[in-house]
Each structure stands twice: as structure tokens, then as C-alpha cells.
Chain A
Amino acid sequence: MVAALTRLFGVHNLALAEDVVQDAFCRALEVWKLRGVPENPSAWLMATAKNRALDILRRERTARTYAPELGRQLESEWTLAPTVAEAFGESAIRDDQLRMMFSCCHPQLPEVAQVALMLNILCGFGVSEVAAAFLTKQPAMEKRIARGKKVLASSMRLFDLSDERDLPARLSAVQRALYLLFSEGYHGAHAATAVRGELCVEAMRLAELLLASPQTATPATHALIALMCLNAARLPARVDARGNLSSLYEQDRALWDAELIAKGERLLDHSATGTTITEFHIEAGIASLHSRARALEDTDWPMIVSLYDTLMTIRPSPVVALNRAIAVAQRDGAERGLAEISAIANADRLAEYPFYFGALGELEHRLGHCDIARDHFLTARARARNPMERQFFARRAREVVS
């Protein structure tokens, strides 16, 4: 709704748009707490916001300037109401959300700020919720979001998707930001919990907006959404009913969401056009190979290693190298896996990463070196970033010596 309102008020009046939405929610609260929630709450909210917008545009016609491109239409009483109604139409809202998403990924803002803005403006996350999502203190996040909104406001209008010059770079930024958001939810280092499903859901919802327009529904976009679906499919098994983390090797695959997997596979097929292979393609490919295996033993590890090899040429990083080494261990045995791990370049960057020690622990355990394995798991536990991870590694440490 905020996005739709900025179409009317102009991006420089973002704060006004947010106030109108906040007011609509407050009114909803007052009415619904006594009368109950209506059948169609979002329609109710939209109608309220729309009426308030009309009110403001009428009464404060001269008090401020509104959307530059709508100028005349907002001034005349004949065209005011239809213009407002149009802004609240379904496809208009979707377009505005899409444009707002692109606007949030402004090149002047660091990636974390882009994601923070998206969460705040498009997903309705309050500042404290965004701060919690990124393990940042609230005042720091407030500043970051405020600065981001200033940059947004300075551009005077929402990003124009038909701008062929800027679109590719901006689209790339949007995809990266959405990937970052999804990862935060999937294996974030949140202090309270390792998995935040709601962030994955928001990332997927926003990514699907990209499918609405041909300029943004590129093969890379399809690959990105495929990878989100295929990974999200595993979420029900990733955390058990008591909130314990379960690794890929232990998960009850019957809990994997078959519908999401099917959707991911379809999108992966669609993404196999064009001449570029992106990291999203590869990660989706890897996720697909995991989803296809009915049991751990059925996994096509050689293919996975090969995909990691390619990923290392496009986006090398110690974490990717680590994941590759684990796949090599599955294909060739624990010895080779350990050798690959010790050959990782820039391994010092993994020094605080609990799963690095987790991997060492797993492989030493497979070679029968139980005490060494236990030590690695205890080190992993010391590096754990939340209770779920701590529990997970503590459990492994106990299991390898019993």
C-alpha cells in the first residue's frame, strides 16, 4: 500500500504514505477489536487508506506538492477520484511494488541498507524487527533506514522499469538483495533462532513480483526463485517440532514440501535459456539434485561436486569451497574431503564459522577418530551463534563418543 500511495503522493512524500498506512492499521485495530475481523481484511484496509488519501489530496491540495507525473490529474475534482482508484487497482499495486523494490536497491546504498528498506517499506517490518533480522542495534538501523529513505526521496519518482540503460544493473542489485534476504531467513546467524521462515516467505513473495514483467522475468530471475523454492521446500524438515536444527544428512525427507519442489523444478527448467549461467542457476541446480534424492544415498554427489567446481569459478568463497569439500567427501570418502578442506584458500575467514568445525567433526568421525571429532564439535559449539546451533553441535559431540 505504501508503494501505491507513493504513486499518488510522490516518492518525496514517502513519510506521508507511511502515515496513511499506519493510520489505516490503527483504525482497523479500533474497529476490529470490537466488531471482529472482517472477511476481507486487506480490502478493508485498502479502502480505508484510499479514502484517507483522497481526503488528503483534496484538503491539502496547496499545502504540498504531490507526484510530479500526476500533477493535473490530482488537481481536478473530475479526475482525482478515478486517479486514486486506479492507483489501488491490483495490477497498479503490483507494478508500484515492483518499482518500489527497484527504487530501494539504489546504487548509492549499501546492500544491507537496500534489504532493510525493502523489509521496512514493502514488507511492513517495523524498525525494531528489521534490526532484529540483521543483528543490528535499533538506533543504528533507524539511522540506516532514515538515510535510505532520504536517498529514495531525492530521486523524486519511483524507478522506471522501461529505463533500458539502468535496468540490468538495478535488476542485478534487486536479485542480490532478495538472495541476501532469503539467506538471512534460511541460515541466518540470528541470536534467537537459526531459521526465520518469515524472511524466506517475504523474499519469495517479492521475487515473484519480478515474474510479472518481461523485462524483469529473466532466466536469472527464474533461477533465483527456483533456488528459493527448492531450499524453502526443505524448511519443514530443517527444524523439528521442538525447534532443533536438523542437518541435510538427517532430515526426514518425507516432510519436504513436494509442491514447492515441483514449482522450483519448473522454474529451473524455465531458467535454462539464454547464454549466461549465474550463481543462482548453479545453486538452484545443486538444490534440485538434493530434492530429487529420495534418500541421502541416492544423491548424485559427482554432479554436485561438478556444479560446485563451476560455482567456484563464478563466485569463489571459502564457504563455497567448504560446501564443495563436503560434497567431495560424499563422493570420494572422508580422507579426500579433509584434504580438500585443508586446501581451502583464505580459510582464516572460516575461523569463526561454526559449520567449518562441524564439517571437520563429521569427517573425522567417519574415519573413526572419535575424540578428534568431539573436539571439533565442541569448537563448533563455542562458535555457535544461537541456541539452536549450540544444541546441534553439543548433540553431535555427545553422539560421536557414545
Chain B
Amino acid sequence: MSDFLYLYRGGDSNGTPEQMQQSMQKWGAWLQDLGAKGHIKDQGNPLEATGKVVKKKTAITDGPYAEAKDIIGGYTLVQAKDIGEAAKLAAGCPIFDNGGFVEVRPIMQMSM
């Protein structure tokens, strides 16, 4: 098993209370399912939309002001056989309902 990072990008989570509730239920179900199958290493966290960008000691600015469709809204750490499986597991992510997408990045393995 290897580790992968899911980066949740884009997606508009505004909607009616009903829609929001449904969305939350879908996320809960998807993550629970992954967890039950042993794929969740860390459920992860959501991220505030903007923070600071530090380019060097003297260049700390507000940002990043990425386009809405690219903004990383949160992350989850998963474990899977290989990137193929990791990507397949991400296919059930409810973020697609809101126009977002999942970036799947393998964690570099330190081999002994």
C-alpha cells in the first residue's frame, strides 16, 4: 500500500439548505465507505480560501488568488495499492456534483 494525497479543487458549495445537507451526506457516505475499506490514512481538513503567499523573507503577500475553479478547498490522505486504485477510489467523490475535481498525488516513498 502506498500513500496518496487527494486535493479537492474548485467546486461551488453554495446552494439551498436541502442541497447542502444532501452534499454533506454524500461526502460523509463516500469517506465512510473509503474508511471501511481501509483506505483512509487521515480524513483531512478543509482549507480557508485565501491565506498568505511567502516567496522569500521579504515577499509575504496575501493570496493565492487562484481562479475559483482551481482553489484547493481541502485534502485527504489515503492509502491504496497504486495510483490507479487511488484515482479509481476518487471517482466517487461528491465534489463532481458541484463542478470541482480531485487532484491525486502520490506521496514520495522513502525506500529503505
Interface residues of A (CB under 8 A from B): 25-26, 29-37, 124, 126, 128-129
Question: Could you say which of B19-27, B50-58, B82-90 contacts chain A?
Answer: B19-27
**Contact at B23–A33, with CB atoms within 8 Å?**
yes
Q: Which residue of B lies closest to A30 (CB)?
A: B46
A100 to B73, CA, bound (A): 36
Shortest C-beta distance, B78 to chain A (Å), equals 12
Shortest C-beta distance, B40 to chain A (Å), equals 11
**Contact at A32–B24, with CB atoms within 8 Å?**
yes
**Contact at B74–A34, with CB atoms within 8 Å?**
yes
Interface residues of B (CB under 8 A from A): 13-14, 16-18, 20, 23-24, 27-28, 31, 43-46, 73-74, 76, 94
Cβ–Cβ < 8 Å partners of B28 in chain A: 32-33, 36-37
**Contact at B45–A35, with CB atoms within 8 Å?**
yes
Shortest C-beta distance, B3 to chain A (Å), equals 17
A37 to B17, CA, bound (A): 15
Shortest C-beta distance, A31 to chain B (Å), equals 5
Cβ–Cβ < 8 Å partners of A32 in chain B: 24, 28
- 7 A-B pairs with least C-beta separation: A33-B27, A30-B46, A126-B16, A29-B20, A33-B24, A34-B44, A31-B46
Q: Which residue of B lies closest to A36 (CB)?
A: B28
A126 to B17, CA, bound (A): 7
Cβ–Cβ < 8 Å partners of A36 in chain B: 28, 43
**Contact at A37–B16, with CB atoms within 8 Å?**
no
**Contact at B45–A34, with CB atoms within 8 Å?**
yes
**Contact at A29–B13, with CB atoms within 8 Å?**
yes
Q: Which residue of A lies closest to B95 (CB)?
A: A33
Shortest C-beta distance, A116 to chain B (Å), equals 16
Cβ–Cβ < 8 Å partners of B76 in chain A: 34
Given A33-B31, A129-B18, 4 additional A-B pairs, CB 8 A: A31-B46, A33-B23, A34-B31, A126-B16
Cβ–Cβ < 8 Å partners of A26 in chain B: 13-14, 20
A35 to B35, CA, bound (A): 12
Q: Which residue of A lies closest to B27 (CB)?
A: A33
Shortest C-beta distance, B70 to chain A (Å), equals 17
Shortest C-beta distance, B93 to chain A (Å), equals 10
Cβ–Cβ < 8 Å partners of B74 in chain A: 30, 34
A26 to B11, CA, bound (A): 13
Q: Can you list 11 residue pairs at the A/B interface with Cβ under 8 Å?
A: A25-B17, A26-B14, A32-B24, A33-B24, A34-B31, A34-B43, A34-B74, A37-B24, A126-B16, A126-B17, A129-B16
Cβ–Cβ < 8 Å partners of B16 in chain A: 126, 128-129
A26 to B17, CA, bound (A): 9
Known: A33-B27, A34-B76, A36-B28. A25 touches B46 (CB 8 A): no
A30 to B12, CA, bound (A): 11
A37 to B20, CA, bound (A): 13
A25 to B23, CA, bound (A): 12
Shortest C-beta distance, B4 to chain A (Å), equals 16
Shortest C-beta distance, B41 to chain A (Å), equals 13
Shortest C-beta distance, A174 to chain B (Å), equals 24
Cβ–Cβ < 8 Å partners of B44 in chain A: 34
Q: Which residue of A lies closest to B47 (CB)?
A: A30
**Contact at A35–B43, with CB atoms within 8 Å?**
yes
A51 to B38, CA, bound (A): 37
A166 to B27, CA, bound (A): 49
Q: Which of A34, A126, A129 contacts B27 (CB 8 A)?
A: A34
A31 to B27, CA, bound (A): 11
**Contact at A25–B20, with CB atoms within 8 Å?**
yes
A382 to B5, CA, bound (A): 60
Cβ–Cβ < 8 Å partners of B31 in chain A: 33-34
